[in-house]
Structure 1
Amino acid sequence: MLARHALSRAFLPLLVLLGGCVSLDSGSDDERLPTQLQGKAEVLSTTDADYARAAISSAVKPAGQGGIVEGTVIRLKQDVAVWRMWNGPAKLDASGRTNRIGGWWSYDAPKGTQAQYRTAYEICNGWNDLTWVAKCTLKAGSVVVIGPGQSVSAQTCGDPTGAETYPANQKDWQTYVDKPWARPTELVCPADTEDYEANPTDISKVKTAS
């Protein structure tokens, strides 16, 4: 689960999904956007023709269920790099696919330890091994949702011991791209040969041979 940014509560985007009702606070776009996206995106109102294709209801979830706490729908005004951690090319699902392309991304490059990243982005062990890093580009005109990560319960993670839980995180925001496999002109990724296997103690670096 896919990017985030440190802001005071006074400047958090307040595009909040409450029982199907969405409200947007006043202020300029830059006041409602994380620093990394200021000047690069515009905040969309619910009346904008592009708003619906962001699928905000698929991103905003109740406490304990992952996703994001609250969401802001944006349309990019210029290309933006995004990152996603995944299981690597050798691990395939029952359909013979990898999890390289998915809905959740970050506009911040991965950093810290693998464990720190898992906690920051509330990613259950069963969802993602977090062993490889892909860097792609969201093109100008892309419509996505951004927001702070929601908490994840042990039940959601499928952990019967109750040990694996993750708190909500207002600092590191996520980027949700709805049905990315159907949006090749918006989310542009190089071949997976350009990805790297991450060092678990510093995921910003390539894992070295032991």
Structure 2
Amino acid sequence: MRWSLAVLAMVMIQGCASQVGNVISGEAPTARTECVGSVELPNEFSGKFKQVDNPQMLAKAIGEPLSGGLCQGAVYQSTEEVTIYRAWNSTNPGSQFGNWWAFNQPAGKTADYRKDYEICYQWSPLDKLVKCTLQIGSTVVVGNGQSAKCSDYLEYPVSEAQQVFIESASDAVSDCSVFDSMMSWQPEQ
């Protein structure tokens, strides 16, 4: 009996501590845990891919809640060349051809891009951009981002923004151009 009361007290204390942690951080706990958005290709890309069955590749792209990766996805094979983009970390040259890409060139606030694509600051300063051509016959997973916990003070919820997962990007892309990030400060709106 004493043991069960001690366990119950510890559970209650931990529950209160986690509630206090959420208040201190100023961030509400991630409310949405279900996937949002669509795994259907945007209209401008729908004729450039065919959907294929590859459960092993899909499983590699899907992440657990709060760990990044995709929340949901579908596997496609390119039937035409497509331009794709990747923001990456110059201090890790191997990250230029990492797994995570986008159909659209990053634009707007860096903080919004991080939130849309669940990119924790510890993972990359996003100080480089590479623009490449995805080769015909390349297999990719297209889906929406899974939530990510960056720290006790920062979590990104699931996202509607579509991401492109490529298992071996260095073999799937060609004709790459690399760009440097430049500081540009805009007045708050």
The structural deviation recorded for 1:65 is: 1.3
Counterpart Cα distance in 2 of 1:151 and 1:201: 28
Who is 1:34 aligned against?
42
8 Å Cα contact 2:38/2:144 also seen in 1: no
8 Å Cα contact 1:80/1:137 also seen in 2: yes
Local SS of the residue matching 1:69: strand
The structural deviation recorded for 1:36 is: 3.2
Which stretch shows the higher mean deviation, 123-132 or 34-43? Answer: 34-43
Match of 1:111 among 107, 113, 137: 107
The structural deviation recorded for 1:132 is: 1.2
List runs of 5+ in structure 1 lacking aligned partners. Answer: 1-8, 14-31, 203-210
**Corresponding residue pairs, total:** 150
Show CA shifts across 1:112-156 (max 9, x none).
Answer: 111111111000111111111110111111111000111102xxx
The structural deviation recorded for 1:87 is: 1.8
The structural deviation recorded for 1:196 is: 1.5
Who is 2:153 aligned against?
163
Match of 2:164 among 156, 175, 179: 175
Counterpart Cα distance in 2 of 1:99 and 1:164: 23
Amino-acid identity (%): 29
Who is 1:136 aligned against?
132
The one-letter amino acid of 1:84's match is R
1:197 aligns with 2:183: no
1:149 aligns with 2:145: yes
Closer, same or farther: CA 139–198 of 1 in aligned 2, 3 Å: same
Aligned-residue Cα RMSD (Å) equals 2.0
Local SS of the residue matching 1:33: coil
8 Å Cα contact 1:73/1:146 also seen in 2: yes
Mark the structure with the bigger radius of gyration: 2
The structural deviation recorded for 1:103 is: 0.4
Runs of 4 or more above 6 Å deviation = none
List runs of 5+ in structure 2 lacking aligned partners. Answer: 1-35
The one-letter amino acid of 2:139's match is V
Closer, same or farther: CA 175–79 of 1 in aligned 2, 3 Å: same
8 Å Cα contact 1:138/1:188 also seen in 2: yes
Counterpart Cα distance in 1 of 2:89 and 2:110: 12
Local SS of the residue matching 1:119: helix
Counterpart Cα distance in 1 of 2:175 and 2:58: 23
The one-letter amino acid of 1:195's match is V
1:79 aligns with 2:93: no
Local SS of the residue matching 2:154: coil
The structural deviation recorded for 1:62 is: 2.1
TM-score by length of 2: 0.72
